[in-house]
Structure 1
């Protein structure tokens, strides 16, 4: 869920006192080519989409910690969530691994690993995405992309089709100036900006630079999706590599052999 309405937050997630808006949909984006992002996952509660996620191994999905609920399932290989003829794969979550220092007050360490009940069978519609092999920052103004099934505009309707848009990485100092030191941590987070952005329902989806997932959609402006004043914030995956490997083992085959950082 990238930027969720407060009402939706109250109904889907534990009560959050932080002023930031957690995310759920793509604003000013376009429909993705069907199955062009085969790593994308719809995280659902009672067969309803609540968050995005992405496959980092045949047994683990990565998403945002604020997406955690008692009973979740993941849907793999989907494009149109209402089209049963696509034959998407639904797998129950066996175990939940929130980062031990996750705090819902400021969304620090907003990262969650879902261990699936069984291995995902990889094919043309279900594939892994690489995560960084080492810690580092992506160069400011790098063009990356986001995708999700969230709201198409603030308080608008949710998209059944996977939507996508390009964004640019923001300078950490600029993001810190906009959000403040208490809410934004340059060592753990990164910001993006652009004509398009996330909205309610996109939380947990990946920020993709090149062919690598470098961030997890976390939070944004509490009042408006794709705010011109408060950039969207992503959990920086490279800051959590030791923890990720401690959960997944030597890692997923999706961990990139080499990723250029600046």
Structure 2
């Protein structure tokens, strides 16, 4: 595992990649997070796009399946707050890509993936993993949660160099289904978006929806218009995938 510096050239490339991403859903109407207050956050870099992710163990990063394009390799940045700073950050290579077998890109269903790191990471102040739900259960509408990422802060914007965060409320699934005019299944959670004009934008895909210090969702998709969305943001509901997640993670112990 190497720890190179993020040069201006690299940051410029990441911003250009973020512009190129079309399906990746930054944080809108949020605030800068306290540095390293979310040590589980991971910056995921692809060939043509950037995503978010989060550590769920010392060897696995959870993110959205659509963050992996065919034939590309992903690398992840751990322990970062400002990705433009000229300081040491931990870059980690991915050993295996565990995409959920039921993932359907066209229907945007089962949008979950585990990235197995080549080298296990050591827990520190800047690098830690976040708990997952212990069992499958629904999240009540109006529950206050949060989401964070380095994505754009407005429609057609560029990456934010610093980690941003925002509080969002869970939206009733029936209302979400009605507004999206497409099936929002019980494997999805809706939050933010139209309710408060707060939520995610391009570049935040794969980041966690956090409720009471537990990762309950993965940013899957949202309204293309981040500034004044007409629909809630949609997350993959992690608790529906606990058996699969536990099977993958336990396989290397």
| TM-score normalised by length of structure 2 | 0.86
CA distance in 1, matches of 2:20, 2:142: 32
Pair 1:113 & 2:114 matched: yes
Aligned residue in 1 for 2:173:
172
Shift of residue 22, structure 1, vs aligned partner:
3.6
CA distance in 2, matches of 1:245, 1:162: 29
Aligned residue in 1 for 2:132:
131
Does the CA-based 8 Å contact 2:31-2:165 persist in structure 1?
Answer: yes
Aligned residue in 1 for 2:60:
60
Aligned residue in 2 for 1:84:
86
Shift of residue 173, structure 1, vs aligned partner:
1.2
Aligned residue in 1 for 2:188:
189
CA distance in 2, matches of 1:226, 1:189: 23
SS in 2 for 1:198: coil
CA distance in 1, matches of 2:35, 2:146: 16
Aligned residue in 2 for 1:236:
237
Does the CA-based 8 Å contact 1:145-1:209 persist in structure 2?
Answer: yes
Gap runs ≥5 in structure 2: 1-16
Equivalent residue runs for 1:21-60 within 5 Å? 21-23=23-25, 25-45=26-46, 50-60=50-60
CA distance in 1, matches of 2:18, 2:228: 16
Compare relative contact order (CA 8 Å, sep 6+) and give the higher one, 1 or 2. 1
Does the CA-based 8 Å contact 2:65-2:103 persist in structure 1?
Answer: yes
Gap runs ≥5 in structure 1: 11-20, 253-262
CA distance in 2, matches of 1:7, 1:104: 20
Say which of 178, 199, 202 aligns to 1:200. Answer: 202
Name the CA shift for 1:97/1:200 in 2 (closer, same or farther; >3 Å).
same
Shift of residue 118, structure 1, vs aligned partner:
0.4
| TM-score normalised by length of structure 1 | 0.84
Aligned residue in 1 for 2:76:
74
Does the CA-based 8 Å contact 2:19-2:157 persist in structure 1?
Answer: no
Equivalent residue runs for 1:206-245 within 5 Å? 206-222=208-224, 224-225=225-226, 227-245=228-246
Q: 1:40-99: CA deviations, max 9, x gaps? A: 0000135x86000000000000000000132111100000001132x2111100000111
SS in 1 for 2:174: helix
CA distance in 2, matches of 1:170, 1:89: 36
Does the CA-based 8 Å contact 1:198-1:226 persist in structure 2?
Answer: no
